[in-house]
Amino acid sequence: MIDKLLEKGVKIPAPEAVVCEDVDVSRIEPEAVLYPGTVIRGQQTFIGRGASIGLGGGAFVEDAQIGSNAQIMQGTYRSCALLSGTVVRNGAEIREGSILEEGAELGHTVGLKQSIFFPNVVAGSLINFCDVLISGGTGRKDHSEIGSCMALYNYTPQGDKFASIFGDVVHGLFLDQPPVFVGGQTQIVSPVCVGFGAVVAAGSKLTGNLAAGHLYSSAGKDTEREFDRDLIWRPEQKVEHTRYFIGQLMCLRSWYENVRLPLFEGHADAPVYEAVLRHIECGLKERRKRLDAFVSKLPLSLEKHRIAGHDRACAAHVRALDLSKLEIELPVRFDHARIVSFLRQKMASGRSYVESVREVPEDLRV
């Protein structure tokens, strides 16, 4: 298999130090570079033209899709999609359902699972993210930034998992919103929504939503109280937030189905965009599963709150249960056909997708 890759123009400086197993050779593009120590596995794996894989000690790539000119260094990449021009430095663990769009960049020792970064979002080093979507910023010099040593906690003592969102999909798609800034050594407890242009100061602990254009800073405070694992607090907010996150993923799925795939039909990186849809579906399935599991715990929690006389908590539980029964709708319906037509005209003149999408007129954004 290595010989076949070399014949089609894949660059392998040390062929004896690269492993390819159960790979579709047609999905590895010419001029891709596989550095020593790299292992490539899986029929779904795709590596685009000019992509650089495993610089700095080799990479393990399994059923991942790597776009053209992406640079991924030493690390593990499983069932994820990294679009054109992404950069991931050493020590990465990028797991299933993660999507990095054009020009997104990660520092060293970053772990991602079920995480979506919009174009040009930059994360520092020593970061662990699960269940998050980040948008905001207008370009590489005006990007959303996640500081080093930042931790996003998505797991509760009750065993539930919640997602957080920085910016949104509906407005973030057009790459013209103010960037989000999260300082280093911060802690964020999901679920939270952080608006465009918001700033979380370094060293802060954020446990609630942060409005667009606001700055948040916190000081530590020691507390101790009794804990009952069955008692759930703020259930209405958690159900509402999860429903909102699902709606945003539905919007992103619709965008890829109706804009991205038609625009890049026949493009060399088309397999990457097709794979993104699968990863979004994976994310939707995960969020719905987690929501159902959370809601199933509310009746017991409600009963315990009633016994304890927590009237406000009881009312919040009833509202959360009622809310969980409602259908989740697509938050916005774009005129995709007209948007595709507009973008094709712009891209036909040599402009990139990222450059073109910022110029979509306001009347096509609603």
Between CA 151 and CA 188 the distance in angstroms is 6
Amino acid 224: pLDDT: 76
Q: Are 305 and 314 in contact (CB under 8 A)?
A: yes
Residue 22, pLDDT > 80, answer yes
Half-sphere exposure of 167 (CA within 13 A, CB side): 31
Which region among 207-221, 310-324, 337-351 has the lowest average model confidence (pLDDT)? 207-221
Q: Are 234 and 323 in contact (CB under 8 A)?
A: no
Query: Which helix (H) or strand (E) covers residue 71, if one does?
Result: strand 71-78
Amino acid 204: pLDDT: 94
Which residues neighbour 292 within 8 Å (Cβ) at sequence distance 6 or greater? none
Amino acid 222: pLDDT: 62
Amino acid 68: pLDDT: 98
Reading the block at residue 215, the tokens are 């700055």
CB neighbour class for 217 (10 Å; exposed up to 12, middle 13-18, buried from 19): middle
Spans of all domains in the chain: 235-364
Residue 363, pLDDT > 90, answer yes
> Which pTM does this prediction carry?
0.94
Banded model confidence at residue 219, pLDDT cuts 50, 70, 90: low
Banded model confidence at residue 194, pLDDT cuts 50, 70, 90: very high
Banded model confidence at residue 206, pLDDT cuts 50, 70, 90: very high
pLDDT tens track for 332-342: 999 999 999 99
Q: Are 119 and 136 in contact (CB under 8 A)?
A: no
Percentage of residues of the chain with pLDDT beyond 70:
99
pLDDT tens track for 295-322: 999 999 999 999 999 999 999 999 999 9
Residue 1: CB atoms within 10 A of its CB come to 14
Residue 220, pLDDT > 70, answer no
Residue 28, pLDDT > 70, answer yes
Between CA 353 and CA 358 the distance in angstroms is 9
Banded model confidence at residue 223, pLDDT cuts 50, 70, 90: low
pLDDT tens track for 123-172: 999 999 999 999 999 998 999 999 999 999 999 999 999 999 999 999 99
Residue 268, pLDDT > 80, answer yes
Residue 187, pLDDT > 90, answer yes
Reading the block at residue 299, the tokens are 């009746």
Between CA 129 and CA 72 the distance in angstroms is 18
Q: Which of 40, 54, 46, 12 is nearest to 26 (CA)?
A: 46
Query: Which helix (H) or strand (E) covers residue 307, if one does?
Result: helix 298-308
Residue 18, pLDDT > 90, answer yes
Q: Are 338 and 316 in contact (CB under 8 A)?
A: no
pLDDT mean across residues, the chain: 96
Reading the block at residue 283, the tokens are 């994310």
Amino acid 225: pLDDT: 74
Quote the distance between the C-alpha of residue 120 and its chain's center: 12
Amino acid 163: pLDDT: 98
Amino acid 134: pLDDT: 98
Between CA 94 and CA 86 the distance in angstroms is 13
